[in-house]
């Protein structure tokens, strides 16, 4: 189907889905950089890393990084949280736009009709099979 033949809702959803997934992609890149910065806690411990007890380098390094370079590290974490939230919302909204597009597509109508046909056949076979099933005795263990 050509672009001009599509309805306004379908064209809008296509553009919206591409924009939302692009924003999710950019947020993912920002999150990746944030992951690297957060994981690289050597930058926060600085030259005194050798003086720090090994227990600080375990999961408590975040607390230690906040104590040493609190404001800058807190800002980095806040940006990382916002980027993750944006990524999630954009991906979810993009998925919803694609799901709506699937319902608008001609393929969805064909699939819906095929499902109706299959259900009708199953009901017809069940009507035929029911008397046969009642002929055989069932035993309960």
pLDDT tens digits along 35-60:
877 766 555 555 555 555 555 555 55
- Asked if 87 contacts 27 with a C-beta cutoff of 8 angstroms, the reply is yes
Is residue 33 in a domain?
Answer: yes
d(CA 136, CA 33): 68
Is residue 88 in a domain?
Answer: yes
Is residue 124 in a domain?
Answer: no
Is residue 117 in a domain?
Answer: no
Overall domain count for the chain = 1
**pTM for the whole thing?**
0.59
Average pLDDT score over residue span 67-74: 70
pLDDT for the residue 90: 96
Task: Average the pLDDT over each of 50-59, 104-113, 120-129 and give the range with the smallest value.
Answer: 50-59
First-last CA distance in the chain: 59
Instruction: Give tens-digit pLDDT for 2-25.
Output: 777 778 888 899 999 999 999 999
Is residue 118 in a domain?
Answer: no
- Asked if 76 contacts 34 with a C-beta cutoff of 8 angstroms, the reply is yes
């Amino acid at each position: 189907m050509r672009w001009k033949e599509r309805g306004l809702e379908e064209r809008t959803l296509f553009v919206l889905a591409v924009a939302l997934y692009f924003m999710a992609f950019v947020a993912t890149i920002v999150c990746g950089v944030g992951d690297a910065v957060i994981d690289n806690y050597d930058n926060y411990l600085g030259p005194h890393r050798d003086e720090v007890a090994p227990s600080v380098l375990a999961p408590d390094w975040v607390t230690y990084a906040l104590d040493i370079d609190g404001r800058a590290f807190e800002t980095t974490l806040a940006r990382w949280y916002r980027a993750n939230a944006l990524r999630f919302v954009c991906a979810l909204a993009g998925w919803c736009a694609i799901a709506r597009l699937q319902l608008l597509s001609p393929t969805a109508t064909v699939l819906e009709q095929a499902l109706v046909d299959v259900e009708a056949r199953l009901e017809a076979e069940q009507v035929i099979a029911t008397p046969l099933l009642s002929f055989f005795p069932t035993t309960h263990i």
